[in-house]
Amino acid sequence: MRAITYSEFGTPDVLTLTDLPEPRPGPDSVVVEMRAAGINPVDWKARQGFLEGLIDTVFPAVPGWDIAGVVAKVGADAPEFEVGDEVYGYARKDVLGGGTLAERVAVPVRALAHKPQTASFEQAAAVPLVGLTALRSVRRSHVGEGDRVLIHNGSGGAGGFAIQLARLAGATVVATASERNHEYLRTLGATPITYGDGLAERALAATPEGFDVVLDFAGDGSLDASEPAMREGARVVSVADGRGARRLGGVVVWVRPDAPGLVELAELIDAGSLTVDVARTYALEDAADAYRELEAGHVRGKLVITP
């Protein structure tokens, strides 16, 4: 079985195309034949060793947590799925090692749901981590009707879904992005502003009343910069700045495998309420190039690997 692996921490140069043994499903798992796998910034941060002390790494490690594919084998007690089912999932495990950049992957059923019927495998693979991150962030901040929401990095994967979910909840949304992505934010229903110096002033110019909720998918001081635009008691969620979020009375979100959440996202996609933005696809053997593009920044939406 072909897979991308790394046996030491480092740059994309440590990634190699390797032949690995076929995976076997545990009692509550299935083996998924990968048709597409989304990649995320956390993948390269893990590969560079930045998650050491948080999650153990088992070498040779296969990167990737997002998958869409077809069930090839079913474990002894996995009645949720049958061979041939089209599924997608956020396949993070308790250790870094058996990731999704492989032709076949063993995935616990708690991390899987049936694929959205109207989405391609590539689109489905672009959803799990960022979609569940956005869903959890919107829920943890209790976004509701009439709220004014500021979203940092609105053109990224999680930010794009968060804009759409907040709008579905009845909120008004302002989101940060580079100017070249402003029209894209408008198509999602957000008022765009640029990040950088003067951010709070631009945010208040867009929403003079200030913001009830701030969702930070960027880090790099975004919460500090936007604090003057927050209303008293603003609800703050960050995936990248725990110190800043806690200082402001907010919370940190670390996305979890969540089968019911995947079902909800699939229903919204099939209803036409959520759109999925795939920036580009790469073949499995070109995964290192995909990560180089991802690490360079400025990717709108998601990059996806196909076998």
Residue linked to tokens 């919460």: 223
One-letter identity of residue 232 = E
Residue 44 tokens read as: 């390269």
The pLDDT, as a whole number, for residue 248 is 97
What pLDDT, in 10s, does the model give residues 258-300? 999 999 999 999 999 999 999 999 999 999 999 999 999 888 8
Q: Assess if CATH 3.90.180.10 describes domain 2-127+276-306.
A: yes
Q: What is the pLDDT confidence band of residue 22, given thresholds at 50, 70 and 90?
A: very high
Average pLDDT over the chain reads: 96
Q: What secondary structure letter does DSSP report for 300? A: -
**CA–CA distance, 304 with 301 (Å, rounded to integer):** 10
The pLDDT, as a whole number, for residue 1 is 97
Q: Which fold has domain 130-252?
A: Rossmann fold (3.40.50)
What pLDDT, in 10s, does the model give residues 79-90? 999 999 999 999
Query: Cβ of 59: how many Cβ atoms within 10 Å?
Result: 11
Q: pTM for this one?
A: 0.96
**CA–CA distance, 70 with 32 (Å, rounded to integer):** 5
The pLDDT, as a whole number, for residue 72 is 98
Q: If you count them, how many residues does the chain have?
A: 307
Contact between 15 and 5 (Cβ < 8 Å): yes
What pLDDT, in 10s, does the model give residues 215-263? 999 999 999 999 999 999 999 999 999 999 999 999 999 999 999 999 9
Residue 91 has pLDDT above 90, yes or no: yes
List C-alpha distances in Å: 75 to 35, 41, 80, 99, 208.
20, 31, 10, 18, 56
Domain spans of the chain, in order of start:
2-127+276-306, 130-252
Contact between 181 and 202 (Cβ < 8 Å): no
Asked if the domains at 2-127+276-306 and 130-252 fall in one CATH topology, the answer is no
